[in-house]
A and B are shown apart, each in its own frame.
Chain A
C-alpha cells in the first residue's frame, strides 16, 4: 500500500516533510517521466514504486514508464551490466544492434510522453539510447546510473558513453563512480522506504512465518544474505565464510534471492549456489518471488547478522534494510556498501570469505557489541538513507535543472 507523505512525519519528523513541501512548491505541475527496464524486482523498481507516488502527492506530474525488451535484449544489457562493473565481456555487433533496435521500438511507443516532459530521468544503461533517438524534445534529460562503474571494462563504457554524453546531467550513488562526462554529475545515494512492506514494523505472527519459509531453527544463530543470485553478490563466498564459521558455532545460513525480469543469468547462478551448498541442511537457499516483501522483512528480523559480501555493488539496498532492522552488517569493502557500513561502528567491511567468517564469529560471540552496532546502524539509516532524504535531493535536483545551474540558487 502506498503511504501518504504525512505518515512519514511520524518516522522522520514533521520538519522533514515540511521541507519537502516547501521545495516542491517551486515545482508545481512540472512533468517528470522516469524510465527503467523492469517494473518488478531489483532496487531500482522498488525505489521508483515509492518515489513516483510521493512526487505526485507533492504536485509534480510524475510518471513511470518501463521499456519493453525480449530475452536477447536482456542478454546484451546484462553483459553491459557485467562489463560496467569490470568484467571483460565481449559484445558482438549483432548484439549491439539488438540493443539499439529494441530502444528504437520503445522510443516509437514513448515518444509523445518523452518529448513533452519537462524532465526525463532514464535509469541505468538499458534505456540510455532513448535520448539520441527521441528527436525534438522540450525538457532536460538526466541519466541515473545505479551501477558501480568505478572501473568499467573500457570498450563497454566507450560504447555507452556515446549515448550518455548528450544528457543534461547524470546522477551517481558515489563520487568514485562518476566518469569523465561533459555535463554535471550529481551525487545522490539511494534509499529505503521505512513504511513499505519490506521495512515496516511486523507483527510477531508475521515474523514467525520466516522460520516456516526458511526452515531455520529458532534456538540457533542465523546469518542472512538477501540478494539476487548474481556472481557480483558473491553467494559462493558467503557459503565459504559460513563453512569456516560453522566450525566454531552452531550457525545457520539463509541465502534469500529472487529473479529480476531483466537478469537472465539468475537461474544459472542459483544452480551454482545449490551445487556449492552440497545439501548442507544448515544452508537454506530461498528463491522467492519478486513480491515477497513481507517475507524478506521477516527474514531480516530473525537474522542475527546480515551479510552482503558483494565484490561489486552500486549501493546495496539490502544493507540499508538490514541496518534499519537494527542488525550489524558484514559487507564487502566495495561500492555503496562502504558508505553504509562504517567499519567497526555499523558493521564490518571485509575482503575475503575468511574475513567474513572471522567477523561472523566475533559478532556472534559478543552479544553486547552486536546489539550496540545494530542500534547505531538503525540510527545511521534514519538520519541518512530513508526515502525522504532521497526525495529531497531529487526535488533539489529538479529545482536546479529547471531554475538554472548556478552554484547558488535563491528561490
Chain B
C-alpha cells in the first residue's frame, strides 16, 4: 500500500545578510562568499514576495545589473540562467560568477559603473507545516491541485527540487511509486519549467497537465 501524499505548505522569511554590492566587481566578490540561501532567495524568492506576476527579469541579479548598472548585455546573459539546470546551489554560484567575470574581462565600463541603490544580499528561511490534508490515490491529488495555495505549490513543485533526489517535484516522486501507470504524467510534469511563470500561472499549467492525463 502506497503511503498517502501529505500536502504541506510553507512560509518564507527574508533575512538581510548585511552584505552589499555597489558595482560589478563587488557583486562578484560577495557572490563568492555569501550563504547559499542568498542564491536561493535571489533566484526563487521573487515568486513569493511583492512584485508583478510577470516581471522583466526572473532573478534579482539580472534586474539589478539592468536597472542599477545599466548593463543590458550582462542582464540578458544573467536572465537566462535557469536555476533548475544546476544540480546544486554551488554549481549555480559558479555559473553566475563565470558570467560576471567574463563581462568584467570584456569591458572597462563594467568596472566604472556604480549603483545608486546597492545590491542587498538577502537569504531566506523557510518554515514548512503540515496542512493535515492527506491524499490516498493519484486522482485525489488531481482534485487538490486547483485549491493548492501558491506557497504550497512553491513547496511541492519548486522547493522539492532541492530535497528530492533527481531534482523532481514532490508530485512526480509520489506518482512514480505507483508503477509505470503515470509515466506520461510524470514526463509531462518534468517538462514544465517552473522558473518562467508566476505561481498562479504555474498552478494552471499543472492543473491542465493532470486533467489531460487523468480525464474525467
Contact = CB atoms under 8 A, between A and B. Distances in A.
B63 interface: no
B118 A176 contact: yes
A186 B14 contact: yes
B164 interface: no
A186 B13 contact: yes
B52 A342 contact: yes
B50 interface: yes
A172 B124 contact: no
Interface string B107-124: 000000000011010111
A407 B18 contact: no
Contact of A26 (B50, B117, B126, B129): B129
Given A339-B50, A396-B127, 15 more contacts: A18-B131, A19-B149, A175-B14, A176-B117, A176-B118, A178-B18, A178-B120, A179-B18, A186-B15, A342-B52, A380-B50, A383-B50, A385-B50, A407-B123, A409-B125
B59 interface: no
B46 to A, nearest CB: 12
B151 interface: yes
Interface in B153-194: none
Interface in B96-150: 117-118, 120, 122-132, 147, 149
A172 B15 CA distance: 9
Contacts of A175: 14, 16, 120, 122
B11 interface: yes
Nearest to A26: B129
Interface string A172-184: 1001101111001
Contacts of B13: 186-188, 393, 396-397, 400
Q: Lowest 5 A-B CB distances belong to which pairs?
A: A178-B16, A384-B50, A175-B120, A396-B11, A187-B14
A186 B14 CA distance: 6
Interface size range of chain A in the complex = 35 or more
Nearest to B8: A410
B127 A23 contact: yes
B50 A22 contact: no
B74 to A, nearest CB: 22
Contact of B120 (A15, A176, A400): A176
Contacts of A369: none
Nearest to B14: A187
A23 B11 contact: yes
A172 to B, nearest CB: 7
A384 B51 CA distance: 8
7 contacts: A19-B9, A185-B18, A186-B14, A384-B50, A400-B125, A406-B125, A408-B126
Interface size range of chain B in the complex = 20 to 34
B50 A15 contact: no
B201 to A, nearest CB: 14
Interface of B: 9, 11-16, 18, 20, 37, 49-50, 52, 117-118, 120, 122-132, 147, 149, 151
A255 B147 CA distance: 45
A188 B49 CA distance: 10
Which of B118, B125, B127 is the most central at the interface, judged by chain A CB atoms within 10 Å of its CB?
A: B127
A1 interface: no
B38 to A, nearest CB: 11
A189 interface: yes
Nearest to A189: B50
A405 interface: yes
A137 interface: no
A189 B49 CA distance: 10
Contacts of B127: 23, 396, 399-400, 403, 409, 411
Contacts of A25: 129
A100 B5 CA distance: 56
Which of B14, B20, B117, B125 is the most central at the interface, judged by chain A CB atoms within 10 Å of its CB?
A: B125
A406 B127 CA distance: 9
A141 B125 CA distance: 19
A324 to B, nearest CB: 14
B79 to A, nearest CB: 19
Contact of B15 (A187, A345, A383): A187
A350 to B, nearest CB: 15
B11 to A, nearest CB: 4
A371 interface: no
B50 A407 contact: no
A184 B147 contact: no
A48 B122 CA distance: 26
B117 A392 contact: no
Which of A172, A178, A385 is the most central at the interface, judged by chain B CB atoms within 10 Å of its CB?
A: A178
Interface string A369-406: 00000000000100111000000110111011001011
Contacts of A22: 9, 129-132
Given A405-B125, A407-B125, A184 B15 contact: yes
A290 B183 CA distance: 63
Nearest to B36: A407
A176 B124 CA distance: 16
